[in-house]
Structure 1
Amino acid sequence: MRQDGRNPQSSVWMPQKGKPSEGWLGKLCDWVACLKALDTAPQDEASTPLNQQNLISDRLTRKEAAMSHSQQQQLRVHIRWMIRRDMPEVLSIERESFEFPWFEEDFIRCLRQRNCIGMVAEQGERVVGFMIYELHKTRLHILNFAVADSMRMRGVGRQMAEKLEGKLSSQRRTRITLEVRETNLAAQLFFKQVGFRATNVLRSYYEDSPEDAYVMQYHCAANEFVEPMVSNRIDRMAG
């Protein structure tokens, strides 16, 4: 309680201690004084209906502005074949993206395989993402997929996924597959958002850790969707 007789939490005047009223007339005067104080006491601006409405409107405006800003920040990238001079930028993205990153020798060994293809997403003259996948008879299999940390949540990964999806057909390669670490929830959520579903679990799949892997698949739109065989944390969370 402050010395001026105001309750700091309610901002309503209270009769001061040390000045007791005597008799019923004094009590009546005190009540009248309290009622007047209630009428004239300063209200918290946010508590009035008009100001509450203004605050809500202001918050909605800010949210809409943020959404508009986010949409403006969506990047259009050029996706092309990976070449040798891309390797420094690819390795930089790889190291900042994974706890157990590939080394340059891993990339080179993989890309020497006849059925292995590397592509990069380029914005201006900068590589902002990459993917490496294998060609199989009836499917594409993603081996590595990453976006530069500063370019995430700006549509780069989605454009890369759409590039792969565009290579499917109902006559030949009808699906895309990949394995995702059980602990890599961000990757699970991303691939779920672009149409992939978890279909299997590979126990103790990785050599560098004892964790399991989820097999995720994307099916060509012309094919009937296959119901997931397993339910992972992302399925339970996102519905």
Structure 2
Amino acid sequence: MKSHFTNLEEATAWLYTKVAALNNTRQKLTGKTAKELLAQEKAALLPLPTKLLCSEQIQLRVDKYATVSYKTNRYSVPDHLVGEFVQVKIMSHELWFYHDNHKVTTHLRSYNLHEWIIKIDHYLATFKRKPGALAGSIALASSGYLKDLYQAHFMGEPRSFIELLDYCSLHSVTDERLAQAVTQLTQSPVKQLTTEKIKALLGNKQDHQEPLKWTQTTAMAKSQLQQLSTLIN
């Protein structure tokens, strides 16, 4: 029996391996595995109206830092909820936060002590009112790549950086995609990195653009262009 692991991911992977092995072990009385027996039972079960989750649910008040405290750790929520109560669905790996029956955010659950788990976009409304608070905030300090980006290119320009954060939050731009855009710009002849240039590059990337369809209208337009080209020549 293994009892020591490097991290939670390694322990989880080991657990799934052991569970899979048990579920594929043949039972003495039936000669079938637990997985096979479950497959038989599924045929007689009605479908669930919603996904079944094993969780604990509690209600917590949002403090003045736009966080809620659970098991000594603090988790951020959007700052407009300061003073409000949120419902928290607690699972083994995640915490889901609801207000007025709407999910407002999710966080990976921390099993450390006295840790702050912060999302910087939860504080954009506050930063827009008080841009000077950005540089020394816990939200920026714990933001990983965003902190490095601010220190490298936006020191002394908090309003411009907040505008970039707002754009990324509105358009669901991940840190990875943002980093790719920044790298592309810094490796180009661009002399200075600005929010406008980053937004322009991000806006030009169409991740899910459908291919153009060849239609009769397209064919007629191409024919007309060829005729015009003949006249010009």
Is the strand fraction higher in 1 or 2? Answer: 1
TM-score by length of 2: 0.24
Is the helix fraction higher in 1 or 2? Answer: 2
Q: From the CA coordinates, give the structure whose radius of gyration is larger.
A: 1
Higher RCO (CA 8 Å, separation ≥ 6 residues):
1
